[in-house]
Each structure stands twice: as structure tokens, then as C-alpha cells.
Amino acid sequence: MNLSECSTFLENHDIKPTANRLLLLQTLSTSKRPLSQAELEACVGTIDKSNISRSLALFKEHRLLHVLEDGSDGVRYELCLRHDDEHDDDAHVHFFCEACHKTFCLSDIAIPEVALPAGYDLHSVNYMAKGICPQCKKHNHTH
């Protein structure tokens, strides 16, 4: 997204488009994979950690983020591009590489339907596959 699209996106979700929020949103929208807070901090070096944390919390509150537990005791963020407030139609499987510790989107693989027993209310599903990514596998033939 360009800055104008980011501004409209935030306004459509009742978030004031400040310079920091716009930069963070643009970074998330152009990333090809989910990013940790440290990776976001490296990408947007002009914003301090507390501002990034507050913006991420605000984006999460307004359901603009997928927050992924990546399998290494870390959390990663990616932009949520749902088309309605009731159903998260862009949820997909993620892959955590145990060699390079990157998390990849497998956008073409939908998260399977989870049928819970009566009495349970489902709020989200975090579907993370783990293994070795093709790039790491190519460089290390032992896996």
C-alpha cells in the first residue's frame, strides 16, 4: 500500500493516521512474511520501541493484525485484510523454519475448520507448521 492507501485503510478502521502508524502499516503491508517486533523496529528505525508497541496494540484492538506465535517463544505480526467484521477470510497456514527462524505465509492453504465441543467459544486459530524451508534445505543437504 502507498501512504494514501494506508491513510484510508486506517481511517476506515477508525484509527487516526499519524506518521508513525502510517509508516508501520506500510511496512507491514509490503512485507512478504510476518515480522517480529524486532524486525519491525529494524525496518522503521525512526520510531521508538514504545511507539511501535502502542501502534501494534491499537492495530490488534481494531483487528488489523494477525498475531502469530511462531514456535520459538516469539510473536510475529502481519496485516489482516479481512473483508468483513464477522469472518476472517484471509486467515492462512504459516510455516516456521527451524533453521533460519523465519516465518512464511502459506497463503494458498486455508486454516482447517476447527469443531470445538459444546460450550467452547473460538476466538482465533494459530496454525503454524514447522520444519525446514526450501532455501535452508538447499544450503544444508543433511535435512
Mean pLDDT by 10 residues, the chain (143 residues): 91 93 94 88 90 93 83 79 56 86 85 88 82 91 52
Q: What is the pLDDT of residue 6?
A: 92
> 41 is written with which cell numbers?
523496529
Nearest to 60 by CA among 74, 41, 80, 42: 80
Count of residues for the chain?
143
**Angstrom distance (rounded) from CA 143 to CA 93:** 22
What are the structural domains of the chain? 3-139 (1.10.10.10)
Q: What is the pLDDT of residue 119?
A: 94
Q: What's the farthest any 2 CA atoms get from each other in the chain?
A: 50
Q: What is the pLDDT of residue 85?
A: 53
Q: What is the pLDDT of residue 143?
A: 47
Q: What is the pLDDT of residue 67?
A: 84
Q: What is the pLDDT of residue 112?
A: 81
